[in-house]
Amino acid sequence: MIKEIDLEKLILIAGGHSAFQLLWAGVQQGVFDQLSENPGMDRAELCEKIGLQDYPAQILLTGLTALGLIRKDGDMYFNAPLTEQMLVSGKEGSGAPILGWQAQIVYPGLKHFVESLRQSTNVGLEEFPGQGNTLYERLTSHPGLEQVFQDAMCALSLQANDHLRHAYDFSRFSHIADIGGGDGTNAIALAKHYPDLRVTVFDYPSVCEIARQKVAEAGLGDRVSVCPGDLMRDPFPPDIDSVIYCHVLPIWSQENMLKLLGKTHASLPKGGSALIFNMMGNDDETGPLSTALGNLYFLAIASGQGMLHPWKVYEASLRQAGFSTIERISGLPLDHGLIVAEK
């Protein structure tokens, strides 16, 4: 049952821009990092550590306290347990890099949301000048922002792929193509967990370069390789028995997703598998909240055609592309799901 709105929630929505800026400032100024290292500091001590004067610090700390991100006990400040778990930089599972993407890409792009709705296209892309009609093409000429984006995806994938490698037995595959594989975070996690698995990361050349370095650092160059290309135009890597899309199919409309899955089907041998791993929308279009909020990015910025589609849309597209057995693996954390289909 979805809870209907109350006044507090309305205030939070209407002031969402301020709430986000407080959260981002908390990360940027190192408030959560400092309170993790030295819990119980008072404002004067915090001011010194985070390099702010007393007046702006008062505004920041009052906001973070009212949002429940930190707790004030007398004069002493502490991280809330979830803040300690998810927002401290450098901690395993930290979501801080995801906020970098929100602040530098999603936030400016969503200024154009209403106009994107009216024009049914990604008007927010004008914030990122360059060639191409998708954010991903544009990012190839913005190396700094491309790194911000890949760091965010890496953080999201690190949170999610722990569940991916346990959700399905990948040992039945010998060579998997990770299409739109980004910086290789998922490929590396799968290859580490499945010692006989080969993985090829397919992505734009500039992104493959980032992946190549990460793979080398992980010492997996013998089993994880990269294949630069455009997933819409160029052939997929040869000799594969499976294809995985991690956080990639939501970029596309159902029509383009169907084209991509048709190509996937043609690239696989009989018995080969296609896997789809990302946040899934409810089939009855009621949420969950994370995907409902995530959808705006796809319309206004990323491509102007995608969304975090409901499960049934992927399943219908797989069927239409010629796949037979289709398995839905639900209940994964962070509103993620996995769909496995066999040719």
Ligand X SMILES: C[S@@+](CC[C@H](N)C(=O)[O-])C[C@H]1O[C@@H](n2cnc3c(N)ncnc32)[C@H](O)[C@@H]1O
Q: Judged by CB, which is closer to ligand X: 10, or 232?
A: 232
CB of 277 to ligand X, least distance (A): 8
Q: How many helices (H) and strands (E) does the chain have?
A: 16, 9
* Contact between 125 and ligand X per CB under 6 A: no
Binding mask 263-302 for ligand X (x = CB under 6 A): ----------------------------------------
Residue choice 95, 100, 124, 182 for contact with ligand X (CB under 6 A): 182
User: Of 154 and 313, which has the nearer Cβ to ligand X?
Assistant: 154
**Which residue among 167, 189, 231, 313 contacts ligand X (CB under 6 A)?**
231
Q: State in angstroms the smallest separation of the CB of 91 from ligand X.
A: 19
Which stretch, 14-22, 94-102, 242-250, 315-323, contacts ligand X (CB under 6 A)? 242-250
- Report, in Å, the least distance between residue 230 CB and ligand X: 4
Pairing of strands 198-203, 175-179: parallel
Please identify, among the stretches 102-110, 112-120, 228-236, 259-267, the one whose residues bind ligand X according to the rule CB under 6 A: 228-236
Does 186 participate in binding ligand X (rule CB under 6 A)? yes
- The one among 136, 170, 194, 314 contacting ligand X by CB under 6 A: 136
Residue 271 · residue 342 · CB < 8 Å: yes
Q: Where are the alpha helices (DSSP H) in the chain?
A: 7-14, 16-28, 31-37, 43-50, 54-66, 81-86, 96-101, 107-109, 113-119, 135-139, 143-167, 185-193, 205-217, 254-267, 289-297, 311-320
Among 33, 127, 151, 203, binds ligand X (CB under 6 A): 203
Q: Does residue 181 touch ligand X according to CB under 6 A?
A: yes
Q: Is 238 left (phi over 0), alpha (psi -120 to 50) or beta?
A: beta
Token pair listed for 31: 């408030």
Q: Which stretch binds ligand X (CB under 6 A): 27-35, 90-98, 115-123, 227-235?
A: 227-235
Residue 4 Cα distances to 8, 9, 73, 179, 310, angstroms: 11, 9, 32, 39, 22
Angle at the Cα of 255 from the Cα atoms of 252 and 257, rounded to 5 degrees: 45
Q: Quick check: 248 binds ligand X (CB under 6 A)?
A: yes
Asked whether the beta carbons of 61 and 43 are under 8 A apart, the reply is yes
Q: Taking CA 234 as the corner, what is the angle to CA 211 and CA 176, rounded to the nearest 5 degrees?
A: 50
Determine if 207 is a binding residue for ligand X (CB under 6 A): yes
Task: Assess 173 for contact with ligand X (CB under 6 A).
Answer: no
Answer yes or no whether residue 246 interacts with ligand X by CB under 6 A.
yes
3-class DSSP state of 15: coil
Number of residues that bind ligand X (CB under 6 A): 19
Q: Which stretch binds ligand X (CB under 6 A): 230-238, 282-290, 313-321, 326-334?
A: 230-238
**Whole-angstrom Cα distance, residue 153 to residue 265?**
26
Give the list of residues 6+ apart from residue 164 with CB closer than 8 angstroms, or none: 186, 189, 190, 246, 277, 332, 336, 338
Binding site for ligand X (CB under 6 A): 134, 136, 153, 157, 180-182, 185-186, 203-204, 207, 230-232, 246-248, 251
